[in-house]
Chain A
Amino acid sequence: DTAVSQTPKYLVTQMGNDKSIKCEQNLGHDTMYWYKQDSKKFLKIMFSYNNKELIINETVPNRFSPKSPDKAHLNLHINSLELGDSAVYFCASSQGGQSDTQYFGPGTRLTVL
């Protein structure tokens, strides 16, 4: 059973389009995250949710809107895609807390043309 799953794995789209990435975890965790990995492999937090409530919003443009319908799902919607949005997006989950392990999904590679 996959612990943290994301769909789609690859997403190729044109500038200006709107797209969504879905994430689901079956670990029973309370906290979920979105991270962005750029072309140089650098990883940075974007958002975190705890039990459907937004906890961290790390100065991400308003075009990015996370949505958590329940604590097992955290989706990422991106409006008006730009070239600079091309990256790998990782979802993660944890029980929450400084020492808890965050479990990562396989990533979604977004390419904006």
Chain B
Amino acid sequence: GNSVTQMEGPVTLSEEAFLTINCTYTATGYPSLFWYVQYPGEGLQLLLKATKADDKGSNKGFEATYRKETTSFHLEKGSVQVSDSAVYFCALNPGDTDKLIFGTGTRLQVFP
């Protein structure tokens, strides 16, 4: 079946620290991969995506590379800000049905 596994949170960092949030997936075909972010009290916003192996998605200083050999799509940022505090969701669209399958979400807390 199709599933997404994310690291447990919360992840607590000081401002300007390096961020990695791990995401691995299981899929029967060739999924598209997404990172969504949910700020407190808001809906989900797309952060970045990658649609085929070795693609790198990037936005607002965040990056993730679609690694088919390790079935991973880890999210990284070189220097986090307090405003990055949110819940981050890794997701896949398997393609056989048009739906997003989400990981459990990882809460990021950044302190000044």
**A interface with B by C-beta (< 8 Å):** 4, 31, 33, 35, 40-45, 48, 50, 55-56, 58, 90, 92, 94, 96-99, 101-107
Contacts and interface: CB of A to CB of B under 8 A. Distances in A.
Contacts of A4: 43
Contact of B104 (A35, A42, A104): A42
Contact of B105 (A31, A41, A55): A41
Contacts of B32: 98-99
A interface, over-half SS: strand
A105 B43 contact: yes
B95 A98 contact: yes
Contacts of B102: 42-44
B98 A104 contact: no
Contacts of A50: 98
A90 B46 CA distance: 14
B69 to A, nearest CB: 21
Contact of B44 (A42, A48, A56, A104): A104
Contact of B97 (A56, A99, A105, A107): A56
B89 A43 contact: yes
A89 B97 CA distance: 21
Contacts of A101: 34, 46, 49
A10 to B, nearest CB: 11
Nearest to B102: A43
B47 to A, nearest CB: 10
